[in-house]
Amino acid sequence: MARQAKINLGNGVNAFTLEGNVNQDLQLTAGSGVDTINILSNARIMRDAQLKLGDGDNVFAADDVTGTVFVVREVSEVDRLMSDGVPEGTIAVIDDAGGTLTAPILPDFDAVVCLAGSVRSHLAIIAREFGVPTLMAARLTRPLETGERITVAYSAAAQSVEAYFGEDLVARAEIRPAAGDA
């Protein structure tokens, strides 16, 4: 069954009615074709929502990073990474925004996703110093697991300090499965 969407322009005198299947994207072009409205289907919105693994506050803008998750929660994991080396392409997922736990190996990570803190946290400060792309205060749709491949949109605008006072909030950077892994 087709679902209808009705769009009224101006004072309601000119009305356009679009009709289409909810699983199709629709497009309305008005006038000379300069103004276009895209209406995403319910199926596309649901698919995109399912692909998003989470988001976070970007510490500084950098290139997007695709890599393999390594969840760091214990000092013994840091000791092992210090002795064996951090594998190339590793995105660290950590709970602690203090930075003390991972500081000795922070420059060896390709990127970091931190589940706590803010862009003012110690971890964010040292990540900026070392140039390691980092998301703070990450909200996940499910826990990330060691070995999982993800892509993090570190190219998103950096969150400003003022955002934590209700000003100048920018969109959060997204975390998604790596292409081909979705």
Q: Please provide the CATH number assigned to the domain covering 53-177.
A: 3.50.30.10
Query: Residues 48, 91, 109, CA angle at the centre, nearest 5°?
Result: 150
The whole-angstrom separation of Cα 143 and Cα 165 is 28
57-96 pLDDT tens trace: 999 999 999 999 999 999 999 999 999 999 999 999 999 8
Burial of 9 (0-12, 13-18, 19+ CB in 10 A): middle
Banded model confidence at residue 133, pLDDT cuts 50, 70, 90: very high
Structural domain boundaries in the chain: 3-47, 53-177
* pTM score above 0.85: no
